[in-house]
Chain A
Amino acid sequence: MNNKNKFGFLEVIESLLLNNKRHISARDYIELESGIHASIRKIIKRHELQNVIQEEQITETAGNFMLELLAPSETSFIMKLKAAAINGSLQEEYGYILARLFTLLKENAPQNVQEYFLFSDAVKKTLKKLAKSDKISQIKLGCYAISATSELAQGSTISFPQEIVAKIPLKRQLVNTNVKNMYLEESIIQLLTACPAMYFRANVIASALYKYVEQPSAISIEEIMPVNSDNTTAKNIEIPDMSGNPDSQMSSTALDEAVSDIFALFDLQNEDKKDTVLLCGLGYFAKLCPDFFTPEDLGQDNYELLCASALGETDTIQIFLDKIAKSHLLKVKTGRTTTSNMTNFFKNSLSPLLQDYTIEEQRQIIRALVHRLLEEYAPLLKSR
């Protein structure tokens, strides 16, 4: 979907919500419908759900979403969307809409799709666990390979090479074992070992493995993942008492989930511009909260530029991007206008994702996000 169409349907939504006297024609409603359908398809593609979501679920999700616009009661989603519309921030509106569509898609999904989501979550958690214990390598955020030692090519974004999958024993294991955690780990390792020169997105791995689960109804997340005692969500954070109780700290699981949600939505919204947008975000945070960074994190040069120079925000980030582009041959455009747009894009995309959290929690999330960005882009921050 190009930008004109994307924002075309958003403008229709904005006009409906703000009742701003713009004449809304039958054509506008058709544009609205097709924009929502296109957004749902984008989500499906990004999450590798092509094999599990049927056409009728797309229509049902789009219908439910459009009917929400009629809701006379104060749904939290509509109120947030309206606030973004009043602020005139289409990018922010788009963020809310994508997040809401994904939620509705999951809610509307029949049993088999719900099971797929559970399975996919379990695969993602297992991938993280395996990467943490160095059994596999995280090549970049959400992308994994058996090892990071060789020059890697990105594996198919649609499916795993069938001829390879057919040769490995994971099929038998997954079919016969109710997908216990240990078998899932083994299957992932086997799958990645079979393609040592490629890295794959987590969704591709989940989608490939799911085809070999014969009895999805037997899957339960508890079976797949060990029960985590530290799985409080953001919604369960206790309000600190009057003396300033340090319990207001979000749990690491809640922080991790919040940051993962942010990355997932950035991924969805920005696609090919993602790296530029996130690097602008990193530069923006370094400028805004230098206390979060050390010279070791950013490299001495970058630290001096981002955290200590008196240059303005856009100029600083532009120099930062330019430096990275030149020293690492990264394909990023580094013009001043592009930098300013991408930085604003970052801010506007982030804003809806933080909206539900208190300022105190937002600060913790931003710190965790900075940490994740530094991890993600560590190779680019070292001087060559």
Chain B
Amino acid sequence: MTLLEVEDLLVTAGDRTITAGTTLTVAAGETVGIVGESGSGKSMTARAIVRLLPPGLSAKGRVVFRDKELLGLDERAMRSVRGSGITMMFQDPFTMLNPLLRSGDHIAESLDRGLSRSERRDEVVRRLDEVGIDAGEIAKRYPFQLSGGMRQRVGLAAALARDPELLIADEPSTALDVTTQAEILHLLARVQEDRGMGVVLITHDLRVAFSVCDRIYVLYAGSLLEVGDPGSMEQQPLHPYTLGLLLSEPAADRRQSELLAIEGSVPSADDVTGQCSFAPRCHWAAEVCRRADPPLVEVEPGRLSACVRIGDIRSEMLELRRSVAIDAAAIPLVDVVEEPLISVEQVSKTFRAGGREVEALRKVSMAFDRKESVGLVGESGSGKTTLGRCLVGLETPSAGSVTIDGIDASDYQALSSDDRARLRRTIQVVFQDPYSSLNPRHTVGRALGEALRVHDTRGASVDALLDQVGLSSAYAKRKPARLSGGERQRVAIARALAVKPRFLVCDEPVSALDVSVQAQILNLFKELRDELGIGYLFITHDLAVVRQIVDRAYVLYRGEVVEEGPVDALFNDPQHEYTKRLIASVPT
């Protein structure tokens, strides 16, 4: 039985296109995935369905839920559909709950009004139990007293309180740690099955969609490019974009010699109207692709593709896939570190906040050699970022010592300015969020010029730096607002390279980027290492990234190093309980 039928849903902001005619159906008891990168319009499609578009955006087309046309309903009638008919679950567990309401109250608030006090209390317990929460302990707590995963569970229980027939989950696991992410996805799948509910899962992660969905809609720059079941889509994608996504995703089980990145960055839907939206980045694009917006056509039973050339290129795509599947590179052997460039000995860091003491690091010891690429793996709160900040002097360890290139770098403030300048030239940092790591008021040229001037690096120029990270010199005149996420991260890397450092601390450098762009940046890091002989510390939660780029890794858990070793050994034969759990949680 069809629950939801969306036909030619067009979302626009004034005269700008956000999505260009999305068509999808959801049956009762079915999980449907909408997969897309940033700017694909996936969230706006979901919001248009429940009529919760932000101001300035409007929707056209047909959205039929149980024979009711939703776009035409007045706000009052729509309210009765939300909650008991369709409900939504959002990405950010930190802002989704009202900080002044206890978690039990969130659910009680949404329950049927007809219940008595004690019935209501029992019902809250039952509902929390459904999402795997022990109500006795959690119902009385405020959101800030709960972990991200717990909050997401409370959010799910609240969304389910009115027994909806359709749940739209917008990136429900993205903000969570890998292990928690797996738990939430399992929970979602279980609840869906128990209730026979329809679910629309919105995600940027193809792997996540593959693991839980019955049917997947691949959305790119506002257009649907491929529709099909996960099994056959993974086996043999019917659109170059889907193939590109699959290929640019780093493998978690082996080292690839080079990641196949999709060129360029995701365009806005408005820039690619009247043609195949993927044509500007497509390896196989021909004249016919740019002539008109290709329709979704059934290629095989139950499988639709918007690629007009799919008949011609199918075998080529398959060939490419195969060549990548067998590609595996050897990981350079790790030398025994005798006189390391950087050594961290027994470092502890304690933060004091509001009378409470939080131990971020507990007696951590590490050593990094010249030209070595090392990973630091851990979940949020493990202390991995704190360690990186201690290395570059943004944080001062409470105890222990850091020695960099023979200089005691435990306390940057205590150093002579000569020593400090030498440290700055030795070790630099690349941050996670490319959107805030560049000064919005400075042009790229000014940012890089400043970095060059600070340490009087002779012979280097802004143009040369830009060239090093694969950007043309025209970028010097631009401000960050006019750059894509990937371009910004390139600029941030160029800025760190300006002082010709020997070691880069990279704190989650690709996790804020789109999958198709992530591979480009990872390749860039590999290139730079081979060309410049720079050593890296990669701080990340993403095990696949670690597998691709580092030789050796440390696993950090609650401020302590629980395991270390060459990546192959670490992945193939993890020793510590926590490492095993981490590796098992990677969606496959």
Q: Do A and B bind each other?
A: no
